[in-house]
Amino acid sequence: MDYKPKRLKAKDYVDGVLSGNRTLLSKAITLVESKLEEDQNLAKEVMASIMPYSGNSVRIGVTGIPGVGKSTFIENFGKNIVEEGHRLAVLTIDPSSDKSSGSILGDKTRMESLSKLPEVYVRPSPSSFFAGGVGEKTREAIFLCEAAGYDVIIVETVGVGQAEALVRQMVDFFLLLLLPGSGDQLQGIKKGIIEFADGLVITKADGDNLIKSKIALQEFKQVVNLLSNRDKGWRPPVKICSSVTKKGLNEIWGMILDYEKNRKINGAWEETRKDQQVYWVKEQTRVLIEKRFFNNPWIKKNIEKYMPLLINGNVLPSEVAEKLLEDFVVYLKKQS
């Protein structure tokens, strides 16, 4: 006879999270990430109970091109934060496997010493091919970590690009990591990502890279001055740091605290969080509509009907899209 473990109730998850139980926190995040309908119903009940206990943290998004050293930076930067007396949660978003949809890189293994600290919780999650460099349930994971008592949350994104700006809609401070080097200092980075950043940090400023880092520092300051048109009295600072020598890490944390103080004084901190809530209502509405549209049997059938016409070049993709939308409207009318 197969043994089936007892299914946890919503109260079990909630009590475990609020007590700071890391095992139950992990299980709660796994629950909200699950695509099973029964799990999603339970997850909604859990989230409704923990939401009043969330919101009391500084949320930091960290992004940068591959090779910039995001994980190494976060590991050493995170240790500094813990030394300041904080409890830290790190949510690392990894690329998804095409076959399993699971996480490929496994950042927990790349932050081994940080994850061993009792004040730190590291959670790698697959992006599940969700746009914007974040996981589909990253926001819920943030809320759960806050309810568990973590007062600093770091979200490490998959990579960098204009789509990465989506993480800006779920954090308080958006940190862009850059590499020192000669030539084109934008390094393929779209100017939009710099405009979204609240602070820029040039990494690996040690050894032979130190001179290059100081040159890059001045160049990126000029770029920020040209591109940045920020309101509320904040112009993104540009810093340099070394995860090897630990130089500059304290200054980066000080920059984030200055930002928090500045934004709270002028009311922009809470204003931004309210704007983010509105944004995510719209985003989740879009996601739900898209899922229900493409999962609809009527739409699936009509997509197959239109495909030969599209492949043979008899209709344009835009025409097929319009026809599908018209078909869906007809379907809804028949159901009412």
CATH code of 15's domain: 1.20.5
Determine the pLDDT at residue 256.
98
Pairwise CA distance, residues 58 & 269, whole Å: 10
Looking at the fold, whether 146 and 42 belong to one and the same domain comes out as no
Looking at the fold, whether 149 and 8 belong to one and the same domain comes out as no
Residue whose C-alpha is closest to residue 172's, from 84, 282, 262, 73: 262
Determine the pLDDT at residue 127.
52
Pairwise CA distance, residues 220 & 189, whole Å: 12
Looking at the fold, whether 253 and 140 belong to one and the same domain comes out as yes
Looking at the fold, whether 255 and 311 belong to one and the same domain comes out as no
Looking at the fold, whether 101 and 195 belong to one and the same domain comes out as yes
Looking at the fold, whether 26 and 127 belong to one and the same domain comes out as no
pTM: 0.86
Determine the pLDDT at residue 76.
96
Determine the pLDDT at residue 184.
47
Pairwise CA distance, residues 144 & 50, whole Å: 7
Instruction: Please state the domain count of the chain.
Output: 3
Assign residue 204 a region (left: φ > 0; alpha: ψ between -120 and 50; beta: otherwise).
left
Looking at the fold, whether 102 and 41 belong to one and the same domain comes out as no
For 303, the domain range is 296-335
206: its two tokens: 């040690």
> What is the Rg, in whole angstroms, of the alpha carbon atoms belonging to the chain?
22
Residue 281 lies in a domain: no
293: its two tokens: 């549209």
Pairwise CA distance, residues 49 & 271, whole Å: 24
What's the CA dihedral at 140, 114, 251, 87 to 10 degrees?
50
250: phi then psi, degrees, rounded to nearest 5: -65, -40
Determine the pLDDT at residue 11.
97
Residue 143 lies in a domain: yes
Strand partners, 93: 125
187: its two tokens: 């390094």
Pairwise CA distance, residues 214 & 283, whole Å: 40
CA 271 to chain CA centroid, nearest Å: 20
Determine the pLDDT at residue 135.
53
Pairwise CA distance, residues 130 & 11, whole Å: 29
CA 184 to chain CA centroid, nearest Å: 27
Could you read off the pLDDT tens digit of each residue along the chain, which spans 336 residues?
455 567 899 999 999 999 999 999 999 999 999 989 899 999 999 999 999 999 999 999 999 888 889 999 999 999 999 999 999 999 987 654 334 444 444 445 568 899 999 999 999 876 543 444 345 789 999 999 999 999 999 999 876 554 466 788 899 999 999 988 744 455 555 566 788 889 999 999 999 899 999 999 998 888 888 775 566 578 899 999 999 899 999 999 999 999 999 999 999 999 999 999 999 899 889 888 998 899 998 899 989 999 898 888 888 999 999 999 998 888 888 887
Residue 271 lies in a domain: no
Looking at the fold, whether 41 and 92 belong to one and the same domain comes out as no
313: its two tokens: 């070049």
